[in-house]
Structure 1
Amino acid sequence: MNGVEAAGQAPPTGPGRPAAPRRWLPWLVAGTVAWAVLLAALTWLSVRNDPPTVREQRTLTEAGGVVDRAVGALVAAAGDTAVLTPPVVDRGCRVTPFAAGADLSRGVDVFVAAGGEATLLEQVAGRLPADWRAGVRVTSDGPRLRGDAGEFVTVSGGVAGDGRVRLTVDTGCRPVGDGYDVPATGAAGAEADALEEALRALGAPAGPALPVVTAPCPGGGTARSARSAGVTAPASPAAALAPVTRRPVLDDPQAYAYRRGPVTVVADLSGDRVVVSASTGCPA
């Protein structure tokens, strides 16, 4: 009425009157952009500097060295009759529903007198680095060793048969990266000579040489194992090996082992055919 607004009433809004400008909108946009830049910077710094929190943040390439060193530590803890087994890379697992990965595992077979498997596992656990938090517990499947070698690499061990313990280092499924670099073996050395000598004593041909398996020792040097394919067992393998044996370190129905200089020769007698290995270990 007469252009005068009644007290307490809002001014009319309508198509004939422009809305007040939203002066806060540019500040909101600027604040959002600044927050996004800060979040991106913090994420970049975290990726570069923070330790990984899940296994998927470390590739197989990065974990390979951890695995190799862990195997060397197991050899040092297990003693003379430890035999390295070849690395196994199992591809095809899924890191995420959209990304394939691979699992790297390495093993060590240790031979003892039947009945001494649990004692050996306890011995190994006690000699491993303290930060691995290794321990042995009794399960329905027998005594089991568990430990953590770091970088989400697990260490386990259990009874693989009468007089045999299998120790395993495993990465779990993770991105492949550039793949796993198998440690260099170098030229055939004392292990190959001791293996050939043992096979001759058993009346078996030397046959083609199998790849030597190696691992770095904790205090320097390299653990090495050479292994034969299965050969026909003589009536008494221990008697056949007696001429080349200086002093047996194990004489059991399941395995026979002896020292040949720095090399330990182990004849696995548990199967239908004898498998002979010759290994140079790591100092305890």
Structure 2
Amino acid sequence: MSGGVQTGYVPQTGPGAPAPTRRPWLIVATVAWALLLALLVWISVRDDPPTVREQRTIAEAGPVVDRAAGELVAAGGTALLELTPARVERGCRVTPFAAGAVLTRHVWLAAAGGGERDLLEGVADRLPADWRAGVRMTTDGLRLRADAGEFVTVTGRPVGDGRVRLTVDTGCRPVGAGYTPAPAAAGPEAGVLADALRALDRPDDPAPEVVTAPCPGGGVARTVRAAVGLDPGALAPLAADGPILDGPEAYAYRAGSVTVLADTTADDPHLAATTPCPHP
């Protein structure tokens, strides 16, 4: 018996060797699975609602914000003071690699005689039920919070001088095509503003800015505003029924259904006349 080590089997090579077994079904199945996954992703992107805020742009959120402002106007009722222009603030980060912006709108109300809590609770009660609006005392003070849908939040707080500010906020998200306010024309509030400007000896000021919000029952609420330095005392003769607000930085009165506000805050002095949502 030989003491040599027997070598192992060496596969046959060369022209006479059998071809390796191929599995075409495996390749076909892999390609089919990849195509199916791509199709499912495309359908999800096309049909499924966004699941995070970052999937909706400022352009897409704009109409939601405008409708929410209209709901706040309607809920505020006769306490409405003014609508302020929408603001798009850039500079936030959607992701570490993508810049974004925040769209906000404000609705201002007047709270008479320390009635801020009653006013906020009344607004919360009149907002849509699915907004889940509520008012509570926080470490930062009295706050209203609500969810307007589509990752748009609503908050409210007293800000002093008998005023309450309601805010609609998109949070940081991609800009997309940006926010474009709905085209608007002034209504009867323009004449009331003109009367107030004449009382202030400012009849030749440039055309005022018009700010609107769509009302939930139809129609629009409007504010016309002029950026002017002013002396609210000159408006007192126009307040036939007395002022509804008379503070260090804000004076307001009503002329029929129109509310006139003289705001003397240092960063945004202006005169505004506002028409609320029409009665149903």
* Same fold at TM > 0.5: yes
Match of 2:181, as an amino acid?
A: V
Is 2:279 the partner of 1:281? no
Of residues 26, 36, 41 in structure 2, which corresponds to 1:28? Answer: 26
Counterpart-to-counterpart distance in 1, 2:163 and 2:264? 11
3-state SS of 1:231 partner? coil
Q: Which residue of 2 aligns with 1:112?
A: 111
The answer to whether the Cα contact below 8 Å between 1:72 and 1:217 also exists between their aligned partners in 2 is yes
Report the equivalent of 1:146: 145
Aligned pairs for 1:77-116 within 5 A: 77-80=75-78, 81-116=80-115
* 8 Å CA contact retained: 1:253, 1:269: no
Shift of 1:228: 3.1
Q: Given residue 199 of structure 1, which amino acid in structure 2 is its aligned partner?
A: L
The yes-or-no answer on 1:259 pairing with 2:236 is: no
Q: CA offset at residue 216 of structure 1? A: 0.8
1:170: which partner in 2?
A: 169
1:146 to 1:273, Cα distance in 2 relative to 1, 3 A: closer
1:7 equivalent in structure 2 = none
**Partner amino acid for 1:245?**
A
Partner of 2:51: 53
The alignment status of 1:133 with 2:132, answered yes or no, reads yes
- Cα displacement string for residues 66-97 of structure 1 (whole angstroms, at most 9, x for unaligned residues): 00010011011112333101111112222222
Residue 199 (structure 1) aligns with:
197
SS at match of 1:79: helix
| Separation in 2, partners of 1:273, 1:91 | 20
Aligned length, in residue pairs: 269
Deviation at 1:271, TM superposition (A): 6.8
d(CA) in 2 for partners of 1:273, 1:97: 34
Within the candidate set 14, 21, 29, 2:10 is matched to 14
Shift of 1:258: 3.0
Following superposition, the deviation at residue 231 of structure 1 comes to: 3.1
- Structure 1 residue 248 displacement after superposition: 4.0
Q: Is the 8 A contact 2:230 2:264 kept in 1?
A: no
In 1, are the aligned partners of 2:220 and 2:278 still within 8 Å (CA)? no
SS class of match (2:181):
coil
Unaligned runs of 5+ in 1: 2-11
Stretch moving more, 57-66 or 258-267: 258-267
Please say if residues 61 and 178 of structure 1, whose CA atoms lie closer than 8 Å, have aligned partners that are also in contact: yes
Q: In structure 2, how many angstroms separate the alpha carbons of the residues matched to 1:89 and 1:273?
A: 17
Q: How far is 1:266 from its partner?
A: 2.5
Q: Is the 8 A contact 2:104 2:169 kept in 1?
A: yes
Q: Partner letter of residue 52 of structure 1? A: P
Task: Specify the SS of the correspondent of 2:244.
Answer: strand
Distance 1:90 1:13, change over 3 A: farther
Taking structure 1 as reference, are residues 245 and 206 closer, same or farther at Cα in structure 2, changes over 3 Å only? farther
Task: Write the deviation string for residues 11-58 of structure 1: whole angstroms up to 9, x where unpaired.
Answer: x531436688344x4222222111111111111111111111011111
1:272 to partner: Cα distance: 11
Structure 1 partner of 2:36:
38
The alignment yields a C-alpha RMSD, in angstroms, of 2.7
Distance 2:169 2:65 in 1: 7
What are the ranges of 5 or more consecutive residues in structure 2 without an aligned counterpart? Answer: 2-7
Matched, 1:73 2:68: no
- The change in CA–CA distance for 1:108 and 1:118 in structure 2 (over 3 A counts) is same
Question: SS state of the match for residue 271, structure 2?
Answer: strand
Q: What letter matches 2:187 in structure 1? A: G
What's the CA shift string for 1:208-249, capped at 9, x where partnerless?
233111111111111111223343426xx2xx4454334346
The percentage of aligned residue pairs carrying the same residue is 62
Q: Distance in 2 between matches of 1:273 and 1:32?
A: 64
Between the aligned partners of 1:270 and 1:111, the Cα distance in structure 2 is 16
Could you tell me how far apart the structure 2 residues matched to 1:253 and 1:202 are? 18
Contact 1:266–1:278 under 8 Å retained in 2: yes
SS in 1 for 2:208: coil
Distance across 2 between alignment mates of 1:273 and 1:21 = 81
* Farther off after superposition, 51-60 or 113-122: 113-122
> Which residue identity is paired with 1:130?
A
Aligned to 2:181: 182
Alignment check: 8 A CA contact 1:105 1:171 kept = yes
Match of 1:245 in 2: 239
Q: Shift of residue 159 of structure 1? A: 1.4
